[in-house]
Structure 1
């Protein structure tokens, strides 16, 4: 089951959601799939008001190096910039999202995503945390409402797509 958490972590303006799933595949296989340069249209297929990813462009280098960036194109014609911040195969992958061309640009400054991959027998325990940074205290409330009502569902669809890729069935969700 997806778990929503609003954090006071590094900033009081952060709004985070964490999902966990048991993926029926080896750690390195799951890491390679989730962190692949071409994976976004396969797993970020959309949910509610959040459009799916259709493509990426302007990749500045090999996608396995911190600092490499690209433009992500969404089904509604909007874009967002994405950059790798950590690539530690096969256990950890993180990235930063900025410059959205859609409505969230009025609520957020940037977002950070991170995936943790932990072997669990022949399977992989996958944890995905996505943290938005609100522009200010006033905009944090509508951003948190968006995260609860839309973004969490978008992440859930993504996790199900990852599980389906490996097993043809949805992964087992766990509380974070």
Structure 2
């Protein structure tokens, strides 16, 4: 069993986020919204109360209120900060990978780049490309593989969608696979 001073686990963090939004949620509502069993939800609530993260108050025979304590608010803020910091590191790593691949291909003589990127990551890719300022380089951005122009021999991808099989001399290189990411909510 974790000690009362141990950092919040992911499920505990998600639970206190729910409770801070709606302190009068029932355990059944909480278990549904978090995708946990009712027993697990009850166990997590008791653990959070024992750690001093939440205060449980019985409003009447049917309703209970779960209030975040000062310690709980500090833990929630710390966890959110660490999560944001982790996401920043991931974006930085992806940006570094894009820079490495594009610079290597540019030095090898490539001047036209086809990039398949989904909307969520497209802005990061565009910003990285703009910051590189590769003279004479042209970039074509598409959001789906079926939009890749014919004749492209190298297609760089920044998408979670799997690339089609390489054929007719066309190679696909994922900018996302180059990252060694094992990310969890800290």
With normalisation by structure 1, the TM-score equals 0.25
Q: Which structure is higher in RCO with an 8 Å CA cutoff and minimum separation 6?
A: 1
Relative to its length, the structure with more strand (as a share) is 1
Whichever of the two has the greater Rg, that structure is 2
Relative to its length, the structure with more helix (as a share) is 2
